[in-house]
Amino acid sequence: VRINFVMEFGNYGYKDELTRAGWQSPRTNMETEIPLRHWHLNDPGVVPNLLQTGAGSPTGIVVYEGDLLPEVFRNQVIHCDAGPNVVRAYPVKKSGAGYTAETVNLLTGARDNWFRPSDVCVAPDGSLLVADWYDPGVGGHRMGDADKGRLFRVAPPKTPYKFPKADVSTVEGAIAALKSPNEATRYLAWTALHAMGEKAEPALAKVFESDPNPRVRARALWLLGKIKDNGPKHVLMAINNEPNPDIQSVAIRLARQLDPQAKLIVQHPEFVEKQSLLWWALGLRIGIPPAKPKPLPLDVCREMAIGLRQFPFGVPYGGSQWDSRQWAWALLASRHVGKDRWYLEALAIGAGSDWDKCLESYLGLLTSTDRQFRKFSDSGYRDIIWRSRSTKTPELLAEIVLDSTTPASECPRYLRAFDFLPASQAKDDALVQLAFGSSVDEPKVALVNAEALNRLKGFDVSKNAPQKAALNRVLDSLKGQPQFLTLVEKFNVTDRYPDLLALAAEKPDDQIGIDAIRVLLAKNQLELMGAAMQLPMAVAAQERWAKATVGLATALSNSGDAKAVPLLLPIVTSLNHYPVDITRQSIKGATRTKAGATEVLKLAEAKSFNETFAPALAAALSTAPLDEAQRAVVAKLFPSPAGKDSKPLPPLTELAKLKGNAGNGAKLFAEAKTAKCNNCHIVNNQGKDVGP
């Protein structure tokens, strides 16, 4: 569970932004901790979490604006988490363009773990009301108690539940109600004042100018901004004269609603000399470039950056040749010095789908000397390139990766950024440069080469000897790893197929061994595998061959691929010329498909096999994908062992329909004549304890 500060247009990482893959899908630069991995936090394009709260069942949430509770809870988010039986607050502090937070428990189920807080709200008197559905468990509609529930009121001892009745029929009464800590009361007040329009304007202006509570002032400003024809005037006044950055941010959001496309230039000629209301509201009071922008808090710059998303290109800045949006974005981007993911994502939201123009302006803002410095030393520059989606981004990412000051530990971050860039020649060129480049830093070059090769598509290295040599160096460093298989398959490296064969024989029950044999089957390497399974003439080589071939037969069997059947059937039908273990694995694998099982059944019907293999044939054919008639033949050839009273057991399909008898099972478990099950096994805490 996580707590977020929501920036409009942001992506919060529940799925991979492009592929929609879930959190468990492997990815480059994957987070090391599973709670962080859930939200794709290392991917460019994900707004960071404010707080991780661990596993839970999040329910109701509110901002507490009362004054009855202690100071630590005032003006803070309060949240119910039913799973761990707790109601918490998350006191926040500003940190650049974002926030930090801590957790402070308000109510816990320490004395009663049936406490399941489901919602929380603030009463008109400032006390807190918590609904408790009161249940032994949570999740999946698993309700253990459908009858009981509780309500808690949280307030200082002996505080009476008392408050004046809200009257929103007058301006004065509605303004009083606008200050209520209760959300429903504030809603009634806001709705009434909005409907009053100009009638409420003088009183609202007075509240905005003089009320000591910034939240009340912000609500008054929003109402003033929504008054028909007069809204822009109040927004302009707030931007010009307001020292509080939170209220400046409110004014910017309001300006975006009032003037998303600079239409107010026409509607309000008095604003023309200050460009558009939107630009003035965004605080870009900077004169004609290259004048420096007026320093503003980063949280205000954050809102300005988000506001750029809706503003069109092609609007000149003042009388200059500069495009207003490009120039503004470059100035805002120049404020990013790294280590502030909130601000970086706000810049990206502002760039939207116009990264080419925005990044061009940003790079143009830097002098050539400063640009060289930023390329190789400045974390702010590197951040912006990592997050950008420009046609120039691949080239700039490659520069950063190949730079000697970029350590190997940081390379996965920049390589992951390639996954979010659209297919293009520039991207392919950058990946080729990374895939076949060299460096004195061997661990770094191996990592970079492998990651870049994984991202190349439709590239033929066989036509380029140096590139093929580079690919082989990468493959040597990845032997025995999943990436080795991926690259051999992708680039059709035929001289590495024997390596895949050896890997399959060595690890036939591991996923990597199974995947290796599947690659060979997909590449139709039947001749290579068939030759490996031929019994050698030399007696000295037969023992070594047998061990490898058991592994190979096991891998073929585990693959479940129909192409494996022609390789396994000759062993099954070889009249016992092969070692027992190889034959058993071949029987198992050959019966994984209907065609193979049919051939093995014919062998069984002809009794062309050693009785030693009867159990293996019976087990394999009993689960093979055969039709009803064939199953009847299997049942006749391999009847089930006798049951009670020495009568044959019915077929498995009939056994599955029967109702069991737990008492008889327990008796058999403890008193079997041949070997007691409870000598080795434990059921319901009965039997021999043989350890975990």
DSSP 361-408: HHHHHS-HHHHHHHHHH-HHHHHHHHH---TTHHHHHHHHHHSTTS-G
Averaged pLDDT for residues 344-370: 87
3-state secondary structure 3-69: ECCCCCCCCCCCCCCCCCCCCCCCCCCCCCCHHHHCCCCCCCCCCCCCEECCCCCEEEEEEECCCCC
pLDDT at 332 over 90: no
pLDDT of residue 268: 39
The two structure tokens encoding residue 454: 């994984």
Averaged pLDDT for residues 291-320: 73
Averaged pLDDT for residues 672-685: 66
How many residues comprise the chain? 692
Give the residue carrying structure tokens 């990651």: 451
pLDDT of residue 281: 39
Distance, in Å, from the CA atom of 650 to the CA atom of 446, rounded to the nearest integer, reads 60
pLDDT of residue 99: 96
Q: How many CB atoms lie within 10 A of CB 176?
A: 16
pLDDT of residue 72: 96
| pLDDT averaged over every residue in the chain | 84
pLDDT of residue 373: 61
Most trustworthy range by pLDDT among 143-147, 424-428, 642-646: 424-428
The number of CA neighbours under 13 Å toward the Cβ of 98 is 21
Distance, in Å, from the CA atom of 635 to the CA atom of 629, rounded to the nearest integer, reads 10
- DSSP code for 309: T
- In 3D space, the residue among 196, 153, 155, 151 whose CA is nearest the CA of residue 172 turns out to be 196
Give the residue carrying structure tokens 């120049």: 334
- In 3D space, the residue among 198, 207, 188, 261 whose CA is nearest the CA of residue 231 turns out to be 198
141-163 burial string, b = 16+ CB within 10 Å, else e?
A: eeeeeeeeeeeeebbeeeeeeee
- In 3D space, the residue among 181, 234, 232 whose CA is nearest the CA of residue 204 turns out to be 234
Helices within 122-211 (DSSP H only): 171-178, 183-196, 201-210
Distance, in Å, from the CA atom of 300 to the CA atom of 249, rounded to the nearest integer, reads 5
pLDDT of residue 71: 96
Task: Determine contact, residues 205/195, Cβ cutoff 8 Å.
Answer: no
Q: How confident is the model at residue 664 (pLDDT cuts 50, 70, 90)?
A: confident
Q: How confident is the model at residue 143 (pLDDT cuts 50, 70, 90)?
A: confident
pLDDT at 67 over 80: yes
- Give the C-alpha distances (Å, rounded to integers) separating 481 from 395, 450, 503, 528, 640: 29, 11, 10, 22, 44
pLDDT of residue 283: 42
Name the more confident of 154 and 625.
154
Task: Determine contact, residues 439/402, Cβ cutoff 8 Å.
Answer: yes
Task: Determine contact, residues 537/517, Cβ cutoff 8 Å.
Answer: no
Give the pLDDT confidence of 171-217 residue by residue, as tens digits. 999 999 999 999 999 999 999 999 999 999 999 999 999 999 999 99
Distance, in Å, from the CA atom of 79 to the CA atom of 548, rounded to the nearest integer, reads 60
- DSSP code for 197: G
Beta-bridged to residue 89, according to DSSP, are: 78, 104
Q: How confident is the model at residue 679 (pLDDT cuts 50, 70, 90)?
A: low
Looking at residue 682, its amino acid is I
Rounded percentage of the chain residues whose pLDDT exceeds 70: 86
Lowest mean pLDDT among 155-164, 210-219, 541-550: 541-550
pLDDT of residue 413: 97
The two structure tokens encoding residue 402: 């190949």
Lowest mean pLDDT among 206-210, 639-643, 665-669: 639-643
DSSP 586-631: HHHHHTTSHHHHHHHHHHHHTT-S-GGGHHHHHHHHHTS---HHHH
Q: How confident is the model at residue 692 (pLDDT cuts 50, 70, 90)?
A: very low
Lowest mean pLDDT among 77-81, 168-172, 316-320, 560-564: 316-320
Long-range contacts of 631-638 (CB under 8 A, 24+ apart): 633/601, 633/605, 634/601, 634/604, 637/604, 637/605, 638/604, 638/614
- DSSP code for 659: P
The two structure tokens encoding residue 245: 């950055």
pLDDT of residue 603: 81
Averaged pLDDT for residues 1-10: 94
Distance, in Å, from the CA atom of 335 to the CA atom of 293, rounded to the nearest integer, reads 10
Task: Determine contact, residues 88/76, Cβ cutoff 8 Å.
Answer: no
Task: Determine contact, residues 248/300, Cβ cutoff 8 Å.
Answer: yes
Task: Determine contact, residues 475/506, Cβ cutoff 8 Å.
Answer: no
- In 3D space, the residue among 1, 143, 135 whose CA is nearest the CA of residue 61 turns out to be 1
Give the residue carrying structure tokens 């040599």: 469
Distance, in Å, from the CA atom of 120 to the CA atom of 324, rounded to the nearest integer, reads 46
Q: With both helix axes pointing from N to C terminus, report the angle between 594-605 and 565-572 in degrees, rounded to the nearest 10.
A: 10
Averaged pLDDT for residues 286-290: 35
Pairing of strands 682-683, 150-154: unpaired
- In 3D space, the residue among 581, 517, 596, 515 whose CA is nearest the CA of residue 552 turns out to be 517
Averaged pLDDT for residues 517-522: 93
pLDDT at 677 over 60: yes
Distance, in Å, from the CA atom of 397 to the CA atom of 434, rounded to the nearest integer, reads 10
Give the residue carrying structure tokens 């022609």: 566
Distance, in Å, from the CA atom of 122 to the CA atom of 61, rounded to the nearest integer, reads 10
Most trustworthy range by pLDDT among 308-322, 425-439, 669-683: 425-439
pLDDT at 652 over 70: no
pLDDT at 260 over 90: no
Name the more confident of 458 and 71.
71
- In 3D space, the residue among 346, 342, 332, 327 whose CA is nearest the CA of residue 287 turns out to be 327
pLDDT at 289 over 70: no
Pairing of strands 150-154, 117-122: unpaired
Give the pLDDT confidence of 462-513 residue by residue, as tens digits. 777 777 887 888 888 888 888 889 888 888 888 899 999 999 989 988 999 9
Name the more confident of 611 and 374.
611
Averaged pLDDT for residues 143-156: 91
pLDDT of residue 318: 54
Whether omega for the bond prior to residue 651 falls within 30 degrees of 0, making it cis, is no
Distance, in Å, from the CA atom of 241 to the CA atom of 217, rounded to the nearest integer, reads 14
Give how far the C-alpha of residue 222 lies from the chain's centroid of Cα atoms, to the nearest Å: 36
Distance, in Å, from the CA atom of 167 to the CA atom of 173, rounded to the nearest integer, reads 5
Pairing of strands 128-132, 98-101: unpaired
Give how far the C-alpha of residue 598 lies from the chain's centroid of Cα atoms, to the nearest Å: 46
Helix (H) or strand (E) holding 130: strand 128-132
Rounded percentage of the chain residues whose pLDDT exceeds 90: 45
